[in-house]
A and B are shown apart, each in its own frame.
Chain A
């Protein structure tokens, strides 16, 4: 018989976490389907469960002058509805594309990064926003940049005694706008073939002074395209779609699987980035819906 813990404070949760191996449960939108699939194929093994959904202190979104803090229980729906700077428009768009409304109401931003699927829709958004991940354990707290948090296919640096407590995002530069595009074999309720997120800021003359671009589902871990970002700096925003070069995508290593071939993914990633730049340059002041 598996144990089930549902503490109401972080301190208690960390004590449980340190005491035994547990599956951490928040919204359950990954944990339950994976479990159901295992049972469907005959694997009846049950891990002990640490349900963190009753810990009130993990539910907050806080905005301060220099950063935004999303508690570990922030759901996609909360993200979608929150009043956030323009640079978050991409992350908010992604929050509409993750599963359906039921999944968005339960699924959490932090769950998405802890699952660390290459196809996690939130991950390129967080890369584009220079996010940091806050972890806690009985030993104390630490923060890790998102690009260091996920280390491989479904692997993170989160220790066996640690819980992710929040996503920290520095306040984006003035005038920064964000966007996100996802390609799936169907419009909704589909695992991404590729997705791209970008945050770009231009000055009053339209010259780019900040650019971060990330691509997901085209490598083991979603990647920032630093060469492309460098090529954009100092250039007119309107020219962004034309500045894309094949070599900018060298970091990607798309695989072929049952959703798409590697070559198609590779090509689609470039086209998605181009489409994204067209959108960003056409409507720099677009508001998140």
Chain B
């Protein structure tokens, strides 16, 4: 196809608009007479509410409504448990506004709606609440210990879920192993911190009885279904739009957050539009977080380093509620064996309640923890067996001819057995070794020593199940007036550049420039079947649905154009917005085709003349629109993956440590990744580098901290330190493209690829660097300088002196 753009670094359609400030986020939606909501949030991690007095707030000038659990009607109920699972022994979700108890600092207790945000916030402070604080066990291990203070009085041991999965026979493997390596690793809590926080704006139209909701969400269709259900109205009378959304990273896939139901409720009750924009403090205490897990992982190996079996037990911190079910822990437990064959696996986890912000997936979703556990264990195994870190990995990789590689008994987040579809793991490792300059490593280490520094090699290999079902749809229509291609899909974008890759996919089928494809996402009024954007699935699932729809549209165009041009369909080619007879200049535009395929009564323009009943081209037997045909060129199709595609990659880094200040400098960073066929390598690189930045946060900088009473200690950008451009190393990206056999485009997801392996890579580099100083093992993420200092014995020296 002459105009094929698949695989080309096409400029992103949205950039001009976003980079020149023309984006429209929820706070840019300025409805007449809009009212503003503000929330009173719990100042205690765990307390009984003994009284709430809202009289002063109600009397405050400009206040339109003050809401507590007592006047929100039937929505005073537990919010949905989105992903039920039999292993959830004590599932708990929060109520929109606390009733009787609060479970974390930041939980919504009351809502004020007023003429402006200032008034609303002033009135919030006039609400008097009496709390009776309860003792808490905040740290994950403490909350899981016997006798811990309970988050939910009726959930014993704070255990929200307990799950054991087996693939093969781990016990037998351990019985016959020559060697067992066992380590415990700990990964800390972080937060997505999207540039735009959450936001909701709702308008109730009492004439049409329609509820319009703008929501900074990753799941508009699902939000619509939920709202319709909650308010007991037809789905068709609820429209949810996710306009430009300033980042989500998983934090915005959860629904419902309390504000998402309370703001529409207030709009209906007050018969007035209501808006709420989350502030940064609220994002730290009211939006979900992720990562804390403690894994104890054991590898049973032969003396040659072949891993026969794996056992992993881990605790997963789910915060105060578990609305997203066991998704994170399930992804961690099913990714735990990484790229290695390891035929016998036993993995067990407990999801534990802690009196902290609830936990739901954040970019990576359990994979960074699993990657950290298995990769640090593989390094330890290599060390204990006296094998090279690369070699021990090579001996265990699933070989290219062994795919599909199924782990019977391990059920992935889509409910299906884990099954890796394709990959060239050994090649990826070799490319990483080459790109990082492994053959010059000793030389580089010596050079660092000469400068008083210690240099180490970091290595991390990851796999990533992407493109989960159940399905997404694509709608393709050629506009009869302009000839432009309209593409709709149900999921939504948070700035990834979906619109460009979806445009490329449709453009390739229809022979137009991607800039002539108009993509609408995240509007249930435009397309109302589908799920959401999460788990690196948009390109795979919506992309293939759009591809299928566009392919059918192409066939329809060719058939119609062949009729119009009196040529054989096989002679028609599509290019430059036209259908042309190959090798001739006889052509019709797509606009003409779209017009001609729509039988018309009225000749409203020149092109339309050819579609009227009395036009020569219309002469045919039977009715103008043949039985079974629809007017115009318009196709809707769906793609439902048989199971997830598995992307993978290998990161390597040269990490230099200053033994005095204990600071870490990443001298070089290589990311070899394979997400199958790339639609747009520039966007892929953007995803990888952005993901890497968030991975770097988890490796060296970011840790959400709570004190022993459950108060957040760093709920702001002053002390929650995300890496900036000054912290990001230059990343050398090496692309590999092993097509997925599972979908027509041969693609896999890439949204989380950059994030997963970074802590394992950088921290293994720190460990390698400090080996000559006898610093020991680094099995926690992130690593802060004072932790290196302690490993180097600095604290002991300081005490001794």
- Same complex origin of A and B: yes
**Contact surface of A with B, Cβ cutoff 8 Å:** 33, 37, 39-42, 44, 183, 185-191, 193, 246, 258-261, 263-264, 266-268, 271-272, 274-275
Contact partners of B797 in chain A: CB under 8 A = 267
Tell me how far the C-beta of B704 lies from the nearest C-beta in chain A, rounded to whole angstroms. Answer: 11
With A33-B718, A37-B281, A37-B716 as contacts: A188 and B794 at CB distance below 8 Å: no
Say which residue of B723, B785, B798 sits within 8 Å of A266 (CB atoms): B798
With A185-B701, A186-B721 as contacts: A267 and B726 at CB distance below 8 Å: no
With A185-B784, A187-B726 as contacts: A263 and B716 at CB distance below 8 Å: no
A264 contacts B718, C-beta separation under 8 Å? no
Say which residue of B121, B723, B794, B801 sits within 8 Å of A186 (CB atoms): B723
With A186-B724, A246-B801 as contacts: A42 and B789 at CB distance below 8 Å: no
Say which residue of B662, B719, B801 sits within 8 Å of A264 (CB atoms): B662
> Which residues 476-520 in B have Cβ within 8 Å of A in the complex?
none
In the complex, the chain B residue whose C-beta lies closest to that of A39 is: B121
Q: How far is the CA of A41 from the CA of B281 in the complex (A)?
A: 8
Q: How far is the CA of A122 from the CA of B726 in the complex (A)?
A: 22
B43 contacts A42, C-beta separation under 8 Å? yes
Tell me how far the C-beta of B710 lies from the nearest C-beta in chain A, rounded to whole angstroms. Answer: 14
Tell me how far the C-beta of A33 lies from the nearest C-beta in chain B, rounded to whole angstroms. Answer: 7
- 20 further A-B contacts with Cβ under 8 Å, apart from A41-B281, A246-B801, are A40-B279, A40-B716, A42-B124, A44-B122, A185-B701, A186-B723, A186-B724, A187-B724, A188-B724, A193-B785, A258-B719, A259-B719, A263-B786, A263-B790, A264-B795, A267-B797, A267-B798, A271-B661, A275-B660, A275-B661
In the complex, the chain A residue whose C-beta lies closest to that of B281 is: A40
For residue B178, CB closer than 8 A to chain A, the reply is: no
Q: How far is the CA of A261 from the CA of B799 in the complex (A)?
A: 13
Contact partners of A274 in chain B: CB under 8 A = 660
B794 contacts A189, C-beta separation under 8 Å? no
A258 contacts B705, C-beta separation under 8 Å? yes
For residue B713, CB closer than 8 A to chain A, the reply is: yes
Tell me how far the C-beta of B801 lies from the nearest C-beta in chain A, rounded to whole angstroms. Answer: 6
Q: How far is the CA of A264 from the CA of B792 in the complex (A)?
A: 11
B789 contacts A261, C-beta separation under 8 Å? yes
Contact partners of A39 in chain B: CB under 8 A = 121
**Contact surface of B with A, Cβ cutoff 8 Å:** 40, 43, 121-122, 124-125, 279-282, 660-663, 701, 705, 713-714, 716, 718-719, 721, 723-724, 726-727, 784-786, 789-790, 794-795, 797-799, 801
Say which residue of A189, A258, A261 sits within 8 Å of B724 (CB atoms): A189
B795 contacts A263, C-beta separation under 8 Å? yes
Question: Can you give 8 A-B contacts (C-beta < 8 A)?
Answer: A37-B281, A40-B716, A186-B723, A246-B801, A258-B713, A260-B786, A264-B662, A267-B794
Tell me how far the C-beta of A276 lies from the nearest C-beta in chain B, rounded to whole angstroms. Answer: 12
A-B pairs with beta carbons under 8 A, tally: 82
A191 contacts B724, C-beta separation under 8 Å? no
B727 contacts A187, C-beta separation under 8 Å? yes
B661 contacts A263, C-beta separation under 8 Å? no
B789 contacts A263, C-beta separation under 8 Å? yes
Contact partners of A263 in chain B: CB under 8 A = 786, 789-790, 794-795, 798-799
Contact partners of B794 in chain A: CB under 8 A = 263-264, 267
B714 contacts A264, C-beta separation under 8 Å? no
Tell me how far the C-beta of A176 lies from the nearest C-beta in chain B, rounded to whole angstroms. Answer: 26
B660 contacts A271, C-beta separation under 8 Å? yes
Contact partners of B785 in chain A: CB under 8 A = 185, 193, 260, 264, 268
Contact partners of B790 in chain A: CB under 8 A = 261, 263-264
Q: How far is the CA of A261 from the CA of B784 in the complex (A)?
A: 11
Q: How far is the CA of A193 from the CA of B799 in the complex (A)?
A: 19
B713 contacts A268, C-beta separation under 8 Å? no
Contact partners of B124 in chain A: CB under 8 A = 42
B795 contacts A261, C-beta separation under 8 Å? yes
Tell me how far the C-beta of A83 lies from the nearest C-beta in chain B, rounded to whole angstroms. Answer: 28
Contact partners of B723 in chain A: CB under 8 A = 186
Contact partners of A264 in chain B: CB under 8 A = 662, 785-786, 789-790, 794-795
Q: How far is the CA of A39 from the CA of B716 in the complex (A)?
A: 13
Q: How far is the CA of A266 from the CA of B789 in the complex (A)?
A: 11
Q: How far is the CA of A187 from the CA of B797 in the complex (A)?
A: 27
Q: How far is the CA of A10 from the CA of B122 in the complex (A)?
A: 34
Q: How far is the CA of A268 from the CA of B786 in the complex (A)?
A: 10
In the complex, the chain A residue whose C-beta lies closest to that of B660 is: A271
B721 contacts A183, C-beta separation under 8 Å? no
With A260-B785, A263-B795, A264-B794 as contacts: A191 and B718 at CB distance below 8 Å: yes
B125 contacts A42, C-beta separation under 8 Å? yes
Residue from A33, A41, A190 whose CB has the most chain B CB atoms within 10 Å: A41
Contact partners of A191 in chain B: CB under 8 A = 718-719
Tell me how far the C-beta of A279 lies from the nearest C-beta in chain B, rounded to whole angstroms. Answer: 14
Tell me how far the C-beta of B700 lies from the nearest C-beta in chain A, rounded to whole angstroms. Answer: 9
Residue from B122, B714, B726, B786 whose CB has the most chain A CB atoms within 10 Å: B786
Contact partners of A271 in chain B: CB under 8 A = 660-661
Tell me how far the C-beta of B270 lies from the nearest C-beta in chain A, rounded to whole angstroms. Answer: 24
Q: How far is the CA of A187 from the CA of B665 in the complex (A)?
A: 11
Tell me how far the C-beta of B145 lies from the nearest C-beta in chain A, rounded to whole angstroms. Answer: 24
Tell me how far the C-beta of A196 lies from the nearest C-beta in chain B, rounded to whole angstroms. Answer: 12
Contact partners of B661 in chain A: CB under 8 A = 183, 268, 271-272, 275
Q: How far is the CA of A212 from the CA of B364 in the complex (A)?
A: 50
Contact partners of B716 in chain A: CB under 8 A = 37, 40
In the complex, the chain B residue whose C-beta lies closest to that of A262 is: B798
Tell me how far the C-beta of A180 lies from the nearest C-beta in chain B, rounded to whole angstroms. Answer: 15
Tell me how far the C-beta of A88 lies from the nearest C-beta in chain B, rounded to whole angstroms. Answer: 25
Tell me how far the C-beta of B472 lies from the nearest C-beta in chain A, rounded to whole angstroms. Answer: 38
With A37-B281, A246-B801, A266-B798 as contacts: A188 and B43 at CB distance below 8 Å: no
Q: How far is the CA of A186 from the CA of B52 in the complex (A)?
A: 43
Residue from A40, A190, A258, A274 whose CB has the most chain B CB atoms within 10 Å: A40
Contact partners of A259 in chain B: CB under 8 A = 719
Tell me how far the C-beta of B511 lies from the nearest C-beta in chain A, rounded to whole angstroms. Answer: 48
Which 6 pairs of residues, A with B, have the shortest CB-CB distance?
A: A40-B281, A264-B786, A271-B660, A187-B726, A263-B798, A263-B795
In the complex, the chain B residue whose C-beta lies closest to that of A45 is: B125
Say which residue of A190, A258, A275 sits within 8 Å of B714 (CB atoms): A258
Say which residue of A41, A185, A188 sits within 8 Å of B726 (CB atoms): A188
Q: How far is the CA of A272 from the CA of B705 in the complex (A)?
A: 27
Q: How far is the CA of A187 from the CA of B726 in the complex (A)?
A: 6
Contact partners of B726 in chain A: CB under 8 A = 186-188
B727 contacts A186, C-beta separation under 8 Å? yes
Contact partners of B721 in chain A: CB under 8 A = 185-186, 190
Contact partners of A261 in chain B: CB under 8 A = 786, 789-790, 795
In the complex, the chain A residue whose C-beta lies closest to that of B718 is: A191
In the complex, the chain A residue whose C-beta lies closest to that of B663 is: A183
In the complex, the chain B residue whose C-beta lies closest to that of A37 is: B716
Tell me how far the C-beta of A177 lies from the nearest C-beta in chain B, rounded to whole angstroms. Answer: 22
Tell me how far the C-beta of B656 lies from the nearest C-beta in chain A, rounded to whole angstroms. Answer: 15
Tell me how far the C-beta of A269 lies from the nearest C-beta in chain B, rounded to whole angstroms. Answer: 10
